[in-house]
Every structure is written in structure tokens, then in C-alpha cells.
Amino acid sequence: MARERVSQAEEWQAWAQRYDVEGGLRTFESGLTLKVFLGAVFIGLLMMPGSIYLTLVAGQSGAGAAPWVAVILFTELARRSFTTARRQELYILLGLTGAAVGSGIHYRAYPFVWYAYFINTPQAESYEIADKIPYWVAPAKDAVAIAERSLLHMDWFWPLAIFLVMKLLAEVRYISASYFLFRLTADLERLPYPLAPIQAQGATALAETTGQGETWRWRVFSIGSMAGLFWGFFYIGIPSLTGVMMSTPIEILKIPFIDFTPSIESFAPSGMFALWTDFGLILQGFVLPFPIIMSEFASAMFTQFVLNPRILYPLEILHQWRPGLDMRGVKLFNDLDFWLSFNMGKSFSFAAVGLAASIPIMLSMKQSQQQQAGTRGSLQTPPGRGDFPIWLMGGLWVLSMIVYVWIVHRMVPNFPVSFLLGFAFLYTPLHSYINARTFGVLGRPLFVLPYIHQATFILSRYEEIDIWFVHLPDEDYGAGTQHWRVLELTGTTFTSDVLGRALMVPLLIVATIVVWHFIWKIAPIPSSQYPFAQTWWPLYATDEALWKTSLRDGNSQMLQAIRGDYVSAGFTSSLAIYGILWAAKLPSMWFYGIVGGIGQDPGMMIPRVIGALIGRFYMIKQFGLKRWFMYNPVLAAGFTCGVGLVGMGTVAIALVSKAVIVKPF
Amino acid sequence: MEKLAYALIFIGAILWVFSIIFMGARWQPQMLAAAILTVGIILAHVWEELFREKK
């Protein structure tokens, strides 16, 4: 009997409905109230100095769990005050606290102290960079502000002013572009966004604890949290705590993987297989679509056990491989020989396929005007969601991007403006659209175009070093689309989220600069007061000096690895796979799995495969399909919370231990 | 239109295999195959979205 064709429209619509555990029926409410905003400011600003400090001391900030701690604290306060917390409030609180605590923990995010250090390093001196660092990056190396370790000094006026303007413009671009792409991928195409329900259900479960009765969500969330606590203690806690006491930490399961690559080389030369031991990924296997996980795994197995050893290696395409290499060595050589180029090509196929699917939808827009919201092919919005006119968001992005390109052009006036425009209006939209689609289907980005900056600098024949200090207008808004989907699932109005961010971001920028100022005042960074920075910053400085001077002779080994015939092979073979699946009337989900898995290590997928098999063949039978799809995002949210709490606890203990001075007598 | 989409997809796929085996995997014939495949895939979606549902 001939297989009946299920159109992509029907397929995506079915998956989108499956991941919308409440059946698409919801009312939208504002999540931004005064108590939420003050709570986020209080907790965020309280924890932010600690997380920056911890990063410099121990290399871990604990910022991942902090928003959950804030939300749990908030719900407990609500319960003690005999009031309730709505899930909209809790989701906005999660977002704002996360932004506040995570602000500035990476030395690159607020790079003033880093450049104040870098400009005086022997590396910058020996590579002849120190005197070429532009005035809008850092003051001169003998400036008073650097000698006094002060960010609140007029010497920092230009770096701070440029940073502030760029940061605010970046926020406008991020909000407007991610919203625009969300409308295209979630509203128009109805891509399912499989990982969005995890965040949504976490906030919902915690909100229900403040209500009258206990619901299934709280029970499932608690089970997930306890599992997360046990696994987190086993996987993160034991190595971290024993690392404090012993010279070599005890790892019951080797972190992050057990490498079987040397063991398989006798029958699969140039293949790699490293079993990833983070079995927390099993929960991702519960959540992600079963066809994607299985086809991804099958295609990764095919790559490492057939394609690499039986075809590419004998043909000497993988010519750098030699016996005895571990997984990292095999990956590096195989990437340089073939997979780097091939993967670029296959990323482009996602854009081609996405555009091929979107163009007919656009053509049928006229007849879709009458279709109701929530139907594929319609840009109608659900009532009360707090949407913005799509032309306004598109226009805001264009405007802020033009201003951004103009500022960058003023900063590096001799760099060809055509390259800046190309990055801003060709590369960024393409990059973001591809990743928005892959987030919508796979829950992760797939588009990577390596060494694009270096390639640009070579092509432009620009030789000044200042271009390395500019943030070029190549951006990815793909990940941001998922955030809008979570807002939709939690019934939070978009306007309240945007307002919350608009209030929080300027506050955070100022607060983070002040916090960095005070931490720098305590002691020089790096110094013995900040052991992690003392160990790693000199290495980062070498790395930075090497990169910034790597193209002086117009050469780069990485750039030479990119070959047009292999890129074409990746692009065309992926399109052929898509076409053949369509002709065979097979689900298009398989395409994302097969192409996503080509060239990957199957060992890293095994925890997810275990989760998918347990879910499919045990859990669904036990609970039924609908109930299981309701349970698993809540379970995964609880698990994330549990693991995060253990991580935060162990970082705190590590910090206390580092604060203790051991006397040798 | 459905049959045309089928035909283009098969021609594109076979041309790609041919270019790999017999034409030294040069990028030019591969990209020609990619162009044919892309047109085929667009036609397939146009048929799905505009014609199949109407029928």
C-alpha cells in the first residue's frame, strides 16, 4: 500500500501542538510587577558581585542556579505572606535575575579590566600590540586610571561611552530581530521549539506551589529536583569537593567523557567514539522528538564506523589521521581535512530548505489572512499576547544596525565599509535565520562559519590592528527566538518582558561597571587574591596576542582548511537527502536528524538515545503519550534546578576553602 | 507540479552522485546539482502549500 504523504505543514503543526502541553489555550498576563522588579534588582545586585568575584577566584560563578534560587525564595516569601505568585511573574523574575547575576561574569563581557591588564603584558609588548590598542578600547598603558586601578576616571571616558552606546543598541537589535524571527518560525511556520516547554513548565510548577492545592506539576518537579540533586552531587559535587581536599579529585565517572577512540582504531581507523558521561542528557532525550534523536544517532554511527574509515580514509581525504590519536586529535585532524568544510556546506542547506519552505507560505499569505492564530501559514497573533507590529520591529532592527555600522565605521574609518554592510545585512540575517530554524526544530544552533573574521580581514587587505578590537556586526539572534516561545507558553505578555528588560539593562550596565571597579580596587587583577585569573589570564593574553597577529603574513592554517569542493559536497548532499526524503514521503524531521548527525561523535548522543528509548517504549506506555509530554518538560526543569543547586553549593564550599589561609607552621 | 518536483529532485541527486564519482567532485557540477535540487524542493513546497491543500 502506498504511503500517504503527510505535508510538512501537517507534520510541524502536530509537533507544535504536542509541545504545547496546555493545548494552546491560555490567557496572557503581565509578568512585570513592582515586587518582581524590586526582587530581581535586590537578588541580582546582591549576587552579581559574588558571581564576578567567584569567577576571578575559582573560575565558576554559580550563576546558572541563582535564578532558580531567586524564584524558590520568592515563592517561599509568597507562601509565608499568604499570597500567590503567578507563573508570569516567576518567569519574568527568572529572566531578570539570570540577566543580573550573569552580567559581567565573563572577563570579555565587560573588558575594561582585561584590557588594562593586557596593554601592560609582556605578550602585548613583544608582539608590538601594546602601543596600537585604540583609545576607545583602553587608555594608554601609563594612564593614571590604570595605575590607580580605577574605572571611575576620565581616562575611561571613550571606552565607557562607546561601550554604553553599543550595549544599548545591541539590546534593541536583539529584541527586535529575535521577535521578527520568532514570528516567522513560530507563528508562520509553526516550528515546535521542543526545549521551550522546559523553562515554561519550571516556572509554572513553582507558581502552583503558592496556590491552594498541590498539583501534579509540583510532584513531578520535586521528583526531577531530587534526581538532579543526586546526580549533581555524584557528577559535580564529589569531584569538586574532593578537589578542594586532594591534589587529584575523585571522579566516579570520568568527566566529561570516556574516550574509546584508540580502542576502535583497529577496525574503524579515523573514526572517533567518546562516551559522554553526563547522563543528565537522558532528560533531553525524553523531551526532544524521537525521530530526530534516532536518525541523528544512526547518521553519526554511519559517519564514524563506515564513512570515515571505509571511504574518506582509504581515499586519503582524511590524510592526517595516524594510529594512537585520542578523540580530540582525531576530531582536530578530521575537521581540518574534511569535516570543517563539509559542515559549513550542510549548514547552508538549512537556510536553503528553510527558504524553500517559507517562500510558498509567503505566497499563500493572502489566503492565510483569514486563518486563525496558531495555524501554520498565518501571521495572526493570539489576542492579548502583547505583540508588536512586525514592520516596526524589522524597522527598529534596520535602524539600530545602520547606527551601529556607522559607529563602527567611525571607529575604523579605513576598513572597507562594504564588509561591514555585508556582515550586517547579509551574513547576520542568514546566520540568525538558520539558527532560529534549528532552535525551532532541534533546540540548538547548528550554523557555524569558522574563521569568518580572519577571512574577512584577509580579503579586505586591511592591515591595521584596530579592527581586531571592534565588535563586527555579525550576530546571531536565533537563540533569542526560543525566549519568545517560552513567554507564549507561560502566558506572559511580550510587552511586560520588553519593559522589564528596558528597565533592567541600563541599571545592570552601570552596576556591573561599578562592581568591576570595586573588585579591581581590592587588588590587582590578576594577582594572588584572584588565583583563577592569575593562572589563566597570562595564557589568555598569549592567545589574544597570537590571534591578533596571526594574519600579518596573510596566512592561516585554519583558512587553508576550507575547501570549496567539500563545502559543495556538504551543501548538495544535504539537499539531496532532503529531496529524497520528500520524494519517499518520509517525515522532514528525519532530515534534521540525519544531517545534524553527519560528522558527529555518536558517543555524545548515547545518553539522549537512552532517554528517547525509555520515553518511547516505557514511559509513553506507562503514562500515555499526552500525559508523558506534559510530565517530561516539568521533570527536566526540576532536574536542571537540582543540578544547579548542587553546583552553587559546591562553588560556595570551594570559595570558603580558598579563603582559608593554611600556615606552614 | 508534483511530478516535476520529483523529476528535478531525482535529476539533482543523480547528477550529484555522478559529479562525485566521475567528475572528480569538482564544486561546479556539484553546485549545478544543488541548484536543480533547490528548484525541485521549492516546487515541492509550492505544490504542498498552494495546490495540494486546495485539491
Size of interface A-B (CB pairs under 8 A): 90
A33 burial type by CB count under 10 A (0-12 exposed, 13-18 middle, 19+ buried) = middle
d(CA A653, CA A437): 41
Q: What is the mean pLDDT of chain A?
A: 83
A274-292 confidence digits (pLDDT tens):
998 887 889 889 888 899 9
On chain A, the residues whose CB falls within 8 A of the CB of B41 are 352-353, 356, 575, 578-579, 582
Contact in structure between A500 and A32 (CB atoms under 8 Å): yes
Q: What is the pLDDT of residue A367?
A: 59
Strand spans (E) along A566-617: none
Q: What is the pLDDT of residue B18?
A: 95
Question: Mean pLDDT over residues A515-531, rounded?
Answer: 82
d(CA A481, CA A196): 10
More confident of the two residues A420 and A12: A420
Contact in structure between A382 and A611 (CB atoms under 8 Å): no
Min distance B18 CA to chain A CA atoms (Å): 12
A467-484 confidence digits (pLDDT tens):
888 888 888 898 889 899
Residue of A170, A161, A163, A115 lying closest to A138 (CA atoms): A115
Phi and psi torsions of A48, nearest 5°: -60, -50
Q: Give residue limits of the domains in chain B.
A: 2-52
Contact in structure between A501 and A460 (CB atoms under 8 Å): no
Residue of A277, A213, A319, A192 lying closest to A592 (CA atoms): A192
More confident of the two residues A211 and A510: A510
Min distance B44 CA to chain A CA atoms (Å): 8
Residue of A222, A60, A328 lying closest to A634 (CA atoms): A222
Q: Which residues contact A435 (CB under 8 A, 6 or more apart)?
A: A445, A446, A447, A476, A477, A478, A479
Single-letter amino acid, residue A190:
R
Residue of A262, A282, A272, A204 lying closest to A20 (CA atoms): A204
Question: Mean pLDDT over residues A56-66, rounded?
Answer: 66
Q: What is the pLDDT of residue B54?
A: 52
d(CA A206, CA A208): 5
Lowest mean pLDDT, pick from A134-148, A423-437, A646-660 = A646-660
pLDDT-derived band of residue B55, with 50, 70 and 90 as boundaries?
A: very low
Q: What is the pLDDT of residue A578?
A: 95
Q: What is the pLDDT of residue B44?
A: 92
Lowest mean pLDDT, pick from A109-113, A192-196, A221-225, A659-663 = A659-663
Q: Which residues contact A356 (CB under 8 A, 6 or more apart)?
A: B38, B41, B42, B44, B45
Q: What is the pLDDT of residue A662?
A: 56
Cross-chain Cβ contact B30/A582 below 8 Å: no
More confident of the two residues A151 and A634: A151
d(CA A208, CA A18): 22
On chain A, the residues whose CB falls within 8 A of the CB of B44 are 356, 579, 582
Q: What is the pLDDT of residue A435?
A: 84
Question: Mean pLDDT over residues A386-409, rounded?
Answer: 93
Model confidence at A2: pLDDT above 70:
no
Residue of B nearest to A579 (CA): B9
A316-358 confidence digits (pLDDT tens):
999 999 999 998 889 888 988 999 889 888 888 888 888 787 7
Question: Among B20, B34, B44, whose Cβ lies nearest the Cβ of A571?
Answer: B34
CA angle A494, A495, A497 (to 5 degrees): 65
> Coil, helix or strand for A216?
helix
Cross-chain Cβ contact B12/A583 below 8 Å: no
Peptide bond into A323 cis (omega under 30): no
pLDDT-derived band of residue A80, with 50, 70 and 90 as boundaries?
A: confident
Query: Which contacts qualify for A34-40: CB closer than 8 Å, 24 or more apart?
Result: A35/A89, A36/A89, A36/A92, A36/A93, A36/A96, A36/A500, A37/A96, A37/A500, A37/A503, A37/A504, A39/A70, A39/A74, A39/A93, A39/A97, A40/A70, A40/A92, A40/A93, A40/A96, A40/A97, A40/A100, A40/A500, A40/A504
Q: What is the pLDDT of residue A64?
A: 63
Question: Mean pLDDT over residues A63-69, rounded?
Answer: 69
Q: A492 pairs with which residues across the strands?
A: A29
Model confidence at A461: pLDDT above 90:
no
Cross-chain Cβ contact B13/A569 below 8 Å: no
| For chain A, percent of residues with pLDDT exceeding 90 | 28
Contact in structure between A68 and A644 (CB atoms under 8 Å): yes
Min distance A7 CA to chain B CA atoms (Å): 6
Cross-chain Cβ contact A575/B38 below 8 Å: yes
Question: Among A9, A364, A582, whose Cβ lies nearest the Cβ of B9?
Answer: A582
Residue of A nearest to B30 (CA): A568
A482-509 confidence digits (pLDDT tens):
899 988 888 889 999 999 889 888 888 8
Cross-chain Cβ contact A572/B37 below 8 Å: yes
Model confidence at A237: pLDDT above 60:
yes
Cross-chain Cβ contact B49/A356 below 8 Å: no
On chain A, the residues whose CB falls within 8 A of the CB of B33 are 572, 576
More confident of the two residues A143 and A100: A143
Cross-chain Cβ contact B20/A569 below 8 Å: yes
Contact in structure between A548 and A468 (CB atoms under 8 Å): yes
Q: What is the pLDDT of residue A509?
A: 87
d(CA A73, CA A237): 23
Min distance B49 CA to chain A CA atoms (Å): 6
Best mutation target, B4, B20, B31, B45, to test chain A (most A CBs within 10 A):
B45
A170-180 confidence digits (pLDDT tens):
999 999 999 99
DSSP alpha helix (H) spans, A523-563:
531-548, 557-560
Give me the helix-helix angle, B2-22 and A564-583, nearest 10°: 140
Question: Among B30, B42, B53, whose Cβ lies nearest the Cβ of A568?
Answer: B30
Cross-chain Cβ contact A569/B42 below 8 Å: no
On chain A, the residues whose CB falls within 8 A of the CB of B5 are 582
Q: A274 pairs with which residues across the strands?
A: A259
**Which among A115-124, A544-553, B25-34 has the top mean pLDDT?**
B25-34
Single-letter amino acid, residue A5:
R
Cross-chain Cβ contact B30/A576 below 8 Å: no
Q: Specify the DSSP element, H or E, that contains A258.
A: strand A257-259
On chain A, the residues whose CB falls within 8 A of the CB of B49 are 7, 9, 360-361, 363-364, 377
Model confidence at A653: pLDDT above 80:
no
More confident of the two residues A183 and A363: A183
Question: Mean pLDDT over residues A560-564, rounded?
Answer: 79
Best mutation target, B48, B51, B53, to test chain A (most A CBs within 10 A):
B48
